[in-house]
Each structure stands twice: as structure tokens, then as C-alpha cells.
Amino acid sequence: MVNRPPNSYDVAKAAGVSQSAVSRAFSPGRSIAEKTRSKIFKVAQELDYKPNAIARSMSTARTNTTQQSGMVGVIVTRLEDPFFSKILNAFSRALQQMGLHVLLFSVESEAEVDNALYEFLQYQVDGVIISSAILSQKMAEGCRQHGTPVVLYNRYTKDKGISSVRVENFEGGRMVANLLVDTHHERIAFIAGAQGEPTNRDREQGFASRLNERGAELYKRDEGDYTFESGHAAALRLLSLAEPPDAIFCASDVMALGVIHAAKLEFKLSISKDLSVVGFDDIPAASWPGYQLTTIRQPVEKMTQEAVNILIEKMENPEQKAQTCLFPGQLILRESVRKS
């Protein structure tokens, strides 16, 4: 049988002090004599004592309004997508840097979000970040009751209590419209991400409305589900038209890659010369020599950092109002769009 790991009483006894003293020694900023502290540390080291974070959070729960469990719940969708794993990594690193711990839930549909949130609340997380999904009004209330701040990433809701950090999708769509009109494309198509998905909707509306403002119009619209395969399939349909498009804007880079593969292999087209392709996100592959995809970059590092900052502010001060933070996308001109 494994004998239980040492607790603060074991250390106290061995060091000849009270248990309170041990507790203080491990709580930065508490009043304790330097001599006592070092003695306690020495003994703790020998016994290989580690403070029990679970017990600590049980105690602090009572008084401390700020950090209680030290855990932040992170809900992620489409984790296998390179863009989203990049986001998770950024969140994870940023949170770790702040001494916070991430309780992760990978969901495959919005329906799973509420359940994940429920579990997070049971675990007394100090805050929640939800990437590319929203929560129900009911769970928003639940979080409010628990005093647990929530920040949405890549999404927003009408609920005034929920913060949101995202890129300006509508504006990003407009930028692409301008680019394709400026370069004199005549049959401009759009391949949408998942149906009814807000991010896609905003990009598409910005794109289509700006096209109209510029006196152009959307030639064709097709739809995928944000995967390479779906982009590839949509391109096959579009390029089989009697009059195929001369430009395709995709709601995401991954789909744009599918389009490029289809155009080059299936139709022997030259990208940019015969067909211009634009993506959104700026994933690593977008800059690979074989792609050189023109796209709208999301400043992921800055955005995730800001989301973490907003969360922490609200954790430290519950009176803090919810915030909405919009980041402009950046047009990255590479080689997949013809010059004029």
C-alpha cells in the first residue's frame, strides 16, 4: 500500500511549529519570520511536501473573491483544425504564464457546450473561455450565479454579461471584396463554412455587400464545412461549371487549400493566372512555398492574450463590466491572386 503523501501537519510536527505557520510559509506575502519560513521549507523539502491545491481552494472559497481554484475552463471546438489547435496552444501558454491551470473540454457540437460548462461549474473554475461556440442563456445565468466570468472567443451573444473577443469578420470579407474587384475579377465565387455559422455569416455578408457596393456581384456561392475535403469538393463543382469562376474566396484557409489542390490537379489550372484563391485565418500552411495563399490574418497571439486579460480582470474584480474586443484582420498578399 502506498502511504499517503505528507500534509501540513506532518511538516509542522517535523519542524516544531504550528500547522498555521506551515500554511503561511507557503502563502506568499503572509507575515512570517524569515527564520521560521526557511526552517519550514527545509523540512518540507525533506518530506517532499506539496501543498494540496484542492484543499487550498476549498478554504479560499470562503473569503477570497479572486482566485479560488486556480483553474480556468477552456472549451474548444474542431481541435483537429490547425487554426484551432494554434488557438488552444496560445490559450494554454498564456494561462500557464499567469499561474492558472486549464481544465479542457473538447466538444464536437454546440450541444455539448452546456454540459461542459456544468462540469466546469462543479469544479469551481475561476473563469471560462469558450472558443468558437456559444452558451445557452440558462448556462449564462448559471455562471453569473457562481460569479464565474465567461469570455467568448470568435463568437458573441446578446447577453450583456458575456465578454467577447474576435476578429472583424465582416470587415475582413469587405477587404477581400475590394481586393478581388481591384484586380478585375469577373466571376467571383464564395465557398462558405458551415451553414448558419456566425463567423462564416459575417465574412460572407461583408464580402457580398461590399461586392455590391463596388458594382460587382457574387457570381456563385457554394458551401463546405471548413474541412479540406469540403473545400476540394466545392471547388470541383464550381470549376466544372460551363463558365467557371476566376476567383474564389473561401471562408477558411483549410478550405482554400482544398480548392488549390482541386484546381491544380483536377483542372490543371494555374493559381492566380487562371484562378485566384483567397482564404481566411492565415494558418501556417498558407505560407508554404507551394501555396502562397493570400488571406486575412487573425492576430491570434494578441487576441488570445486579450481574452485572458479580460478574463483575469473580471476574476479579480467581479464588478468589472463585460467587454467586447474586436481585432482587425490583416490582408496578407501572397501569390494566389493575380496582380491586376
Partner DNA sequence: CTGAAAGCGCTTACAG
What does the block give as the cell for 301? 497571439
- Please check whether residue 322 is in contact with residue 331, taking contact to mean a CB–CB distance below 8 angstroms: no
Phi, psi of 179 (to 5 degrees): -60, -45
What does the block give as the cell for 272? 492566380
In this structure, what DSSP letter does residue 186 have?
A: S
Q: Which is nearer to a copy of itself, 212 or 317 (CB)?
A: 317
23 binds, options a copy of itself, DNA, none, Cβ within 5 to 8 A by partner type:
DNA
What residues pair up with 286 in beta bridges, in sequence order? none
Candidate residues 20, 27, 38, 89; the one interacting with a copy of itself per rule CB under 8 A? 89
- Please check whether residue 164 is in contact with residue 187, taking contact to mean a CB–CB distance below 8 angstroms: no
Residues binding DNA (CB under 7 A): 4, 7-9, 17-21, 23-24, 26-27, 30-33, 35-36, 49, 51-52, 55-56, 58-64
Task: Tell me: does residue 55 bind a copy of itself (CB under 8 A).
Answer: yes
Task: Tell me: does residue 124 bind a copy of itself (CB under 8 A).
Answer: yes
Task: Tell me: does residue 244 bind a copy of itself (CB under 8 A).
Answer: no
Question: How far is C-alpha 15 from the chain's CA centre?
Answer: 47
Task: Tell me: does residue 269 bind a copy of itself (CB under 8 A).
Answer: no
Question: At CA 151, angle to CA 145 and CA 156, rounded to 5?
Answer: 105
Q: Which residue is listed with cell 502563502?
A: 27
Task: Tell me: does residue 279 bind a copy of itself (CB under 8 A).
Answer: no
24 binds, options a copy of itself, DNA, none, Cβ within 5 to 8 A by partner type:
DNA
The nearest distance, CB 1 to DNA, in angstroms, is: 14
Q: Which is nearer to a copy of itself, 79 or 326 (CB)?
A: 79
Q: Which is nearer to a copy of itself, 214 or 261 (CB)?
A: 261
199 binds, options DNA, a copy of itself, none, Cβ within 5 to 8 A by partner type:
none
In whole angstroms, give the CA distance from residue 187 to residue 179: 14
In whole angstroms, give the CA distance from residue 288 to residue 146: 46
Question: Which pairs from 270-273 meet CB under 8 Å and 24+ separation?
Answer: 271/335, 271/336, 272/335, 272/336, 272/337, 272/338, 273/338
89 binds, options a copy of itself, DNA, none, Cβ within 5 to 8 A by partner type:
a copy of itself
Stretch of residues binding a copy of itself (CB under 8 A), selected from 28-36, 122-130, 171-179, 205-213: 122-130
Q: Which residue is listed with cell 511536501?
A: 49
Residue (of 259, 337, 325, 264) closest to 296 by Cα position = 337
Candidate residues 185, 210, 232, 297; the one interacting with a copy of itself per rule CB under 8 A? 232
Q: Name the residue type at position 236.
A: L
Within 135-235, strands assigned E span 150-153, 163-167, 188-192, 218-223
102 binds, options DNA, a copy of itself, none, Cβ within 5 to 8 A by partner type:
a copy of itself
Question: How far is C-alpha 321 from the chain's CA centre?
Answer: 21
Task: Tell me: does residue 122 bind a copy of itself (CB under 8 A).
Answer: yes
The pattern of x and - marking residues 152 through 171 that bind a copy of itself according to CB under 8 A reads --------------------
- Please check whether residue 288 is in contact with residue 326, taking contact to mean a CB–CB distance below 8 angstroms: no
In whole angstroms, give the CA distance from residue 1 to residue 63: 37
The nearest distance, CB 265 to a copy of itself, in angstroms, is: 5
Residues at the site binding a copy of itself, with contacts judged by CB under 8 A: 1-3, 5, 48, 50-55, 57-58, 61, 69, 71, 74, 79-80, 82, 84-86, 88-89, 92-93, 96, 101-106, 108, 118-119, 121-124, 142, 144-147, 228, 232, 257-258, 260-262, 264-266, 284-285, 288-290, 318
